[in-house]
Amino acid sequence: MYLKMLRGKIHRATVTSVDPDYEGSITIDERIARAAGIGEFECVLVADCNNGTRHETYVIYGPAGTGVVSVNGAAARLVQTGDKVIIMAFGYCEPAELGEHTVRIALMGEGNTVEREIEHAASRGSISG
């Protein structure tokens, strides 16, 4: 059996724009996405800290160093510019692989700068087997 595990997270980024007329996705500053280990076109779950909505979409890299976090397409109706969001990427692993599993987290500061990067290793005792 495979377990769906958190793999990368951007914690409390600020939405810089919304564009309901764009064909979809979330545009993220490439430097921010890479700090969390999130790839371009990867599926992500976006949780809005201001209103509690969650939606799934895919990532498009924006220019590095710009701080852009733009929610596009239909999901643009779920968030507002200025909202804080948590962007999460997941992966699958077998229970035997948990000892090697790590999570990369980018903690965001003012102006969507990466304030701190954290890497967590999964606890070996996290799943009984």
Look at residue 125 in the predicted model and tell me its pLDDT: 54
Domains and CATH numbers, the chain: 3-93+101-124 (2.40.40.20)
Residues 8-31 as b or e (16 or more Cβ within 10 Å = b)? bbbbbbbbbebeeebeebbbbbbb
- Which residues in 35-59 are b (16+ Cβ under 10 Å) and which e? bbbbeeeeebebebeeeeeebebeb
**Per-residue pLDDT tens over the stretch 5-25:** 999 999 999 999 999 999 889
126 is catalytic: no
Any catalytic annotation for residue 61?
A: no
Q: Are 34 and 57 in contact (CB under 8 A)?
A: no
- Mean pLDDT of the 39-58 span: 98
What average pLDDT is seen over the chain? 94
- Catalytic residue from among 17, 58, 92, 126: 58
How many whole angstroms separate alpha carbon 15 and alpha carbon 26? Answer: 10
